[in-house]
Each structure stands twice: as C-alpha cells, then as structure tokens.
Chains A and B, each alone.
Chain A
Amino acid sequence: MAAMLEVEHLKKYFRVGGDRKLHAVDDITFTLDAGKTLGVVGESGCGKTTLGRTILHLSDPTDGVIRFEGEDISNPSKKDLRRLRESMQIIFQDPYSSLDPRMSVSQSIMEPLLLQGQLSKDECREETLNLMKVVGLAEDYENAYPHELDGGRRQRIVIARALALKPKFIVCDEPVSALDVSIQAQIINLMLDLQEERHIAYMFVTHDLSVVKYISNDIMVMYMGNMVEKAPSQLLFDHPLHPYTQALLSAIPVPSIHNQKSRIIMQGEISSPIDPKPGCRFAARCRYAGPECAQPQTLEELEPNHFVSCCKCRDINNL
C-alpha cells in the first residue's frame, strides 16, 4: 500500500543577501502512512518548523518532490492548492498568536467552513458546536474571545479549527510546548483520541523528546536541515545510533532520581546554516569526528526501518 505522504529530497533554501543561501531544509526524504504519526525532533535552527510549512506550501519548496495520496504536489496550481488545503492543515505553536483576537471562539472555528462554502450558515454553526464538543470546549464558550481563555482552551479552539475541513494530515508545530504540564497531558490525550477516531496522520514537530515518544510511531531527528536519524519511536530511544541523537537523548532531564545517566555534554555551539560546507554538519561538535566526516554523508538503513546518516556509525556502536 502506498504511503499517504511521500517526501523525496526536499530542500528549502532562503536567500540571505547577495548569493548566500540559508539551508533551512536540506535533502529530507521520508514517508508517512495514513493515521500514523511522524515525530520530528531537533533543536532550534534545525529546520523542523520550516519542513512542516514547506510541505503545506506556506513556503514554497526550493527543490524536491512531495506526493500526497499519489498526486505530485511539489508545484501545485492555485486551484490545486486550494483543494489540497482541505486535506492538509496545520496547528501552530502559540495559541496566543494563532487566533484572531477579534474573532469569537465560534467565529474562528466556523471560518474554514464558511470559506469552503459547501454548508449553509446554520449547518456551519451546528458543525461548529459539534466540533467544540469533540475537542472538549463547553458550549458556553461559543461567544468568548481568545484573550478571555487560558492557553489550553485556546489550543482546543485551534485544534477544532484544524479539524473543521476534515483533513487527513495535520502538521502539528510544537502544539503543546507553550502549555503547562497538566494541560499538555490533556491536549496530547485529545490528539491521540482524535487520531484514532478520524484516522488522521500527524507530523508532530517538537523539541520535547518525552512528548514525541508518546505520540509518534516513527521519529526523525534533524540537525541543521539534515535528517541524521530516523527510526520507530521505541527503537530510537532504546538504540540511538547517531552521535547527535545519543547526545540529545542523554541531555533530557529525567524526572527521577534513580536513573540519572551520565550526560554527554556537547561542546561548542551550532554552526552557521548559511552556505554550509559539504560533509557532516555535526562534525564540529562531535566527539568522534574524523577526516571522513568532511565527505557528504549518505543515509543508510542499518537495521530494519532504522536509518542513520553517519559514516562512523558502525564503529561508534560496534555494529
């Protein structure tokens, strides 16, 4: 069965003055099946947010192929893009700035339905109330405004809105990072429930490794625009192969006093993503770096479904 979303060698470069280019997303390839979740992790500047936005054409890709349900959508016409938008939605990180402060809860949720124009105004309103129920927003909030509500409720509005057009694929850009821990848990549960009921595929972009493991089937680790490792969640956490992934996982503070592991403290800072030299971009901070690392790296499948982009991977992990 073909995957719902196929991305091949996707690139997004930004021009920054003169001829210089910022390599935000550089040669990313992956597939996503319907109803599944791909977690995308990495730190600031790795390109994970740009990746999601490029797939949705909020930013046009520089190169590469995107296929959605078999259809090539790398360069869609305006008409195609409008049709696609009904199947692909996005949930932004900040529920404070992703809602129009001058629109009430029901107006925000109804907007996509009204713009679509397939339902009458009354039908739109009914569907809105239905959506509010689905995301756990009490009907009383129908005429409330975003600034009157807390972060958790605002994010529920955003989710209801994203669901309105019955999309098959939602890019979730750090949807719970701005929320308190106990609210995070509520929203994550909601998203898992919705995925089960509506068979929606998620691309879950986050820097929070514990959250991503919970919600993802597969996880992709990005560093400076490159994909350095991709594996099913459990496998990635049990058996990280790339030195960056290893350092990343060891850096997560564990809320327990008994398995405090020794942290791999990376030296130095992230290098510039503008016109990067060929070869591994992590080499400058990697404790295993050697001369081979200046060669362009290739993605290899070292275990079933476990892809790594590191020339020294076998040596480091004694494979």
Chain B
Amino acid sequence: MKKQKPKQSASGLPEIWRRLKKDKAAIISLFVLIAIFFVAIIAPLLAPYGYEVMDKKHPFDKPSKAHLLGTDRLGRDILSRLLYGARYSLAMGFIATLISSVFGIILGSIAGYYGGKVDNLIMRFLDIYQGIPMMLLTVTLAAVLGPSLRNAIIALGISFVPGTARLMRASILTVRDKEFIEAAQCVNGRDTYIITRHIIPNAIAPVIVSITMGIGNCIMAGAQLSFVGLGVQAPIPEWGAMISDARNFMRGNPTLALYPGICIMITVLAFNLLGDGLRDAMDPRLKN
C-alpha cells in the first residue's frame, strides 16, 4: 500500500488566492502595502536624515536638493520623517488590531457558541463598553497611563474589541447550528475542540475581512489621537502627529500637513480595497 503523507492545506487557500488575483484593485493595494511595509522596515537606510535632526537655520524650506520635500517648522527633513513615520503608523495599526482581534474573537466565540446567559452577559458588557465614546476612553487611559505610543496602542486595541466580538459572534451563530457541528458532538468532541477545530475556521472569514479593514481604521484613529496630543509625543514622526504639528501653519505651508495626510490616505485606502477584495474572494457563494 502506498504510504503518502497527506497534504496539509486549508481547503480554500489556493482558491481564495486565485479569486483575489482577479480583483485588480486588491492586488495593487497588496503591493502598495507590501511596499509601505518594506519602507517602514528599511527606513533608516532610505532616509537621508534622522527624524529628529533639526536644521534650525532652514525651517519651512521649499523642496530642494538637500531636502526633497522641504523641512518643517523645526527644520527637520519631511521626507525622512515620513519614511520613519510609516513604522509608527503601521505599528499602531497592526498591534492595536492584533490586541482587539484576539480579545474580540475569544469573547465573540464564547458568546456565540454557548448562547443563553453567557451570551447575554457578554453582550450586555459589550453594550456598556461601546457606550463609552472612544475618545473619552482613550483620554482616560492616557491620563491614567501617561501619553505615549505604547499607551495609545493599548487604548486603541481596547476600544476596537466590541466590533470584532459582535462580528465573530454573528458569524458563529450561522455556523453553530450546522449539522457538522452536531456530528462532531456525536463523536465525543469536547466544547473547546469543537470551537477551535470546527467553528472558528468556518466562521473566521468575515472577521478576517473586518480585521484587514480594521487596521486602516486603527491607523486613522491613531492619527486622530496623535492629532490631539494623546499618543506619540514629540519628536516621534507618526503621521497624525505630523499633521498636528503642521496645524498652525496650514495657511502658509499647506504641504506640511498635506504629505502625511496623503500617506495616511493611501495606506488606509489600500487596506480597505484589500479588505473588499478578500471579502469577495472568501465569499462561499461564489464557489460553484
């Protein structure tokens, strides 16, 4: 008898990729994001200057050979700050989303699978939770923990939990009553086994899409936090902070705010388009 090692691959992965490839906007976005990611990693190699290097004699410089995008109010090179900024903005987006996803998935799964009192308890908790405006929550956390990049990430992560939790719960409700779940119970699968092995893999698709777009949201929210002074502190060049810095000089030097704004816009747009593409690619109804 032939002894082959069985292939281990999730059923849809190659198919999903194939369908995703057809969505041009999604693929372009993917490349853009990979590029931005790459830039963030090798920023020190690309940037002509350090992000905090000040040239006090040349504030508000127009683009020149020395400073390709000009300088800001403290004479710091805008291009370098943008390149380094990618790190902080992406970090905020990814890590905050990671935190919110992990907690959101766990809470949503428990609520969705067990239903009844447990579900009620968790959902009411999330209701109260969501009733607190995010800004208020973050301000409070910042006040308590002190404003910094790390605390901004924590605050964002915590704020985005209810959305993911609800989505996960809804997705689980559609899967939970399917017969193959009962079939797993019939062969003595314990609850945790069923949740991790059967329910989550089948319910995760919408959540993955939401997470992808959520990263974009986190970056935006992070930028807003920095804009009001909570979050990263000077001189860290997170893009939102850069816009905040440039606030008072918009009349004379609009580009100071424009460049970081465009960076945020492109990144968030790319995440959203990728998320859209993923959602279409993962839609089981398109399977023939």
Q: Do chains A and B touch in the complex (CB under 8 A)?
A: yes
Which of A82, A98, A106, A125 interacts with B183 by CB under 8 Å? A98
**Contact (Cβ within 8 A) B202 A101:** yes
Complex Cα distance, B71 from A245, in Å, reads 92
Complex contacts, A15 vs chain B, CB 8 Å: none
User: CB of B50 within 8 A of chain A?
Assistant: no
Complex Cα distance, B4 from A82, in Å, reads 33
Complex Cα distance, B190 from A115, in Å, reads 9
Which of A94, A97, A102, A116 interacts with B11 by CB under 8 Å? A102
User: CB of A147 within 8 A of chain B?
Assistant: yes
User: CB of A65 within 8 A of chain B?
Assistant: no
**Contact (Cβ within 8 A) B202 A165:** no
**Contact (Cβ within 8 A) A92 B11:** no
Which of A58, A92, A165 interacts with B187 by CB under 8 Å? A165
With A92-B179, A100-B198 known as contacts, the answer to whether A143 contacts B7 (CB < 8 A) is yes
Please, which residue of chain A has its CB at the minimum distance from the CB of B7? A143
Q: Give B191 Cβ to nearest chain A Cβ, in Å.
A: 12
Which of A89, A97, A147 interacts with B180 by CB under 8 Å? A97
Complex contacts, B187 vs chain A, CB 8 Å: 85, 89, 111-112, 115-116, 161, 164-165
**Contact (Cβ within 8 A) A115 B11:** no
Complex contacts, B182 vs chain A, CB 8 Å: 58, 92
Query: Would you give the 0/1 interface string for B177-215, flagging 1 where the beta carbon is closer than 8 Å to chain A?
Result: 011101111111100010000100110000000000000
**Contact (Cβ within 8 A) A161 B1:** no
> Which of B4, B6, B179, B185 has the most A CB atoms < 10 Å from its CB?
B179
Complex contacts, A147 vs chain B, CB 8 Å: 11, 287
User: CB of A129 within 8 A of chain B?
Assistant: yes
User: CB of A282 within 8 A of chain B?
Assistant: no
> Which residues between 140 and 175 of chain A lie within 8 Å of chain B, taking CB atoms?
142-143, 145, 147, 158, 161, 164-165
Complex Cα distance, B27 from A149, in Å, reads 31
Q: Give A147 Cβ to nearest chain B Cβ, in Å.
A: 6
User: CB of A246 within 8 A of chain B?
Assistant: no
**Contact (Cβ within 8 A) A56 B186:** yes
> Which residues between 60 and 105 of chain A lie within 8 Å of chain B, taking CB atoms?
82, 85-86, 89-90, 92, 94, 97-104
Complex Cα distance, B134 from A7, in Å, reads 59
Complex Cα distance, B183 from A106, in Å, reads 15
Complex contacts, A112 vs chain B, CB 8 Å: 187-188
Complex contacts, B188 vs chain A, CB 8 Å: 82, 85-86, 112, 115-116
**Contact (Cβ within 8 A) B180 A100:** yes
Which of B179, B189, B198 interacts with A97 by CB under 8 Å? B179
Complex contacts, B186 vs chain A, CB 8 Å: 56, 58, 85, 89-90
**Contact (Cβ within 8 A) B1 A98:** no
Q: Give A137 Cβ to nearest chain B Cβ, in Å.
A: 15
Complex Cα distance, B6 from A85, in Å, reads 28
Which of B6, B12, B202 interacts with A100 by CB under 8 Å? B202
User: CB of B136 within 8 A of chain A?
Assistant: no
Complex contacts, B184 vs chain A, CB 8 Å: 100, 111
**Contact (Cβ within 8 A) B6 A106:** yes
Complex contacts, A102 vs chain B, CB 8 Å: 10-12, 201-202
> Which residues between 288 and 317 of chain A lie within 8 Å of chain B, taking CB atoms?
none
Complex Cα distance, B287 from A145, in Å, reads 13
Complex contacts, A142 vs chain B, CB 8 Å: 4, 6
Complex contacts, A125 vs chain B, CB 8 Å: 6
> Which of A86, A89, A106, A115 has the most B CB atoms < 10 Å from its CB?
A115
Please, which residue of chain A has its CB at the minimum distance from the CB of B185? A58
Complex Cα distance, B187 from A111, in Å, reads 8
**Contact (Cβ within 8 A) A115 B180:** no
Complex Cα distance, B186 from A111, in Å, reads 11
Complex contacts, B202 vs chain A, CB 8 Å: 100-102
> Which residues between 264 and 288 of chain B lie within 8 Å of chain A, taking CB atoms?
284, 287
Which of B4, B10, B183 interacts with A161 by CB under 8 Å? B183
Q: Give A76 Cβ to nearest chain B Cβ, in Å.
A: 13
Please, which residue of chain A has its CB at the minimum distance from the CB of B177? A97
Complex Cα distance, B189 from A288, in Å, reads 50
With A101-B202, A147-B287 known as contacts, the answer to whether A92 contacts B183 (CB < 8 A) is yes
List 5 additional A-B contacts (Cβ < 8 Å) besides A100-B202, A111-B189, A145-B11.
A101-B11, A102-B10, A102-B12, A161-B183, A165-B187
A interface residues (Cβ-Cβ under 8 A, vs B): 56, 58, 82, 85-86, 89-90, 92, 94, 97-104, 106, 111-112, 115-116, 125, 129, 139, 142-143, 145, 147, 158, 161, 164-165
Q: What 7 pairs across the A-B complex have the smallest Cβ distances?
A: A112-B187, A98-B179, A145-B11, A100-B180, A97-B179, A92-B179, A102-B11
23 pairs across A/B with beta carbons < 8 Å? A56-B186, A85-B187, A86-B188, A89-B186, A92-B183, A97-B178, A98-B183, A101-B202, A101-B284, A102-B202, A104-B6, A112-B188, A115-B187, A116-B187, A125-B6, A142-B6, A143-B6, A145-B11, A147-B11, A147-B287, A161-B183, A161-B187, A165-B187
